[in-house]
Structure 1
Amino acid sequence: MKHLLTLTLIGFILLSCSNDDNDNSNSNGCDRKTVISSEQYTSAPSDKLTINSLAIEGNCLKINFSSGGCSGESWELKLIDSGVVLESNPPQRNLRLSLKNEELCEAYITKELTFDITNLQVDGNRVQLNITNSGEGVLYEY
């Protein structure tokens, strides 16, 4: 019995320590990570979506958005930074929300996701985040 308990405990520890590189979640409590890539910024899918609101909560950027579809369950979303920091006061970064949507229904779905933005910090204590496909921006202070 003692041997079985030890094996069970070892199995649990090994499973809980697995590292899945495809996992979008992170330790900051945000739903997904932010990608920094000039190539993806220009080439990632750009299916039609409407960004309804932007808000910063701690180190997460909360984006409320809508698009046509069936349920939104198959949508592939990424928040992508261009990789360029614009020298201004405050410094600025350009991002876009990429959507790959292959759903062919006529429903209009609204979702809300949070993205970890800690990797967007620059020298100083703030940066302006311009979300190019929303026409809006938010000031990220840290």
Structure 2
Amino acid sequence: MKAVKLILETIVIGLLFTCCDKETNNFSEVCEQSVIISEDQYISAPDDQLTIISAELNNNCLKINFASSGCSGSSWEVKLIDSGVVLYSNPPQRNLRLSLKNQELCDAYIGKEITFDVRGLQVNGNKVLLNLTNSGDQILYEY
């Protein structure tokens, strides 16, 4: 009888520890790359054909789904580049461009997803509008 009581107490205590674990942020803030802020690169970085399928913010990470022709996409060089200019409006705006260097010569259409840390784009206040120029999307980044 004592063994059953001890087992039940252990189970109840274990359940209490698992149910009371309050995790406030289920999203891991580990982005794959950081945004590059450079007027020169914004203008001169590779601009191979791509299609932005979706872009969404999750905390400080901007997740971009895109596609382009290629063999596997394993050799692609992808960068998110900010123009280095803040457009002062309400809210302020920044222009971004997804740069792709793609030297793959296959006819397959490959989709990829990549995340970028956008904390470097914060300006005074608590929000900035991110204009993704090669998709026409505008994303409100609140911090």
Q: If the length of structure 1 is used for normalisation, what is the TM-score? A: 0.80
Counterpart for residue 29 of structure 1: 30
- What code does the residue aligned with 2:37 have? I
Counterpart for residue 134 of structure 1: 135
Q: Deviation string for 1:35-82 (max 9, x for gaps)? A: 000000000000000000010001000000000000000000000000
Equivalent-residue separation in structure 2 for 1:53 and 1:28 (angstroms): 19
Counterpart for residue 11 of structure 1: none
Equivalent-residue separation in structure 2 for 1:78 and 1:68 (angstroms): 17
Secondary structure at the counterpart of residue 105 of structure 1: coil
Secondary structure at the counterpart of residue 137 of structure 1: strand
Counterpart for residue 73 of structure 1: 74
Alignment of 1:1-142 (within 5 A): 28-142=29-143
Offset of residue 136 of structure 1: 0.8
Offset of residue 137 of structure 1: 1.1
- Corresponding residue pairs, total: 116
- What code does the residue aligned with 2:138 have? G
Question: Which protein has the larger Cα radius of gyration, Structure 1 or Structure 2?
Answer: 2
Equivalent-residue separation in structure 2 for 1:28 and 1:81 (angstroms): 20
Deviating runs (4+, > 3 A) in structure 1? none
Unpaired stretches in structure 1, ≥5 consecutive residues: 1-26
Q: Please give the root-mean-square deviation of Cα atoms over the aligned residues, in Å.
A: 1.0
Unpaired stretches in structure 2, ≥5 consecutive residues: 1-27
- Work out the percentage of aligned pairs sharing the same amino acid: 68
Secondary structure at the counterpart of residue 67 of structure 1: strand
Counterpart for residue 6 of structure 1: none
Offset of residue 28 of structure 1: 3.9
Q: If the length of structure 2 is used for normalisation, what is the TM-score? A: 0.80
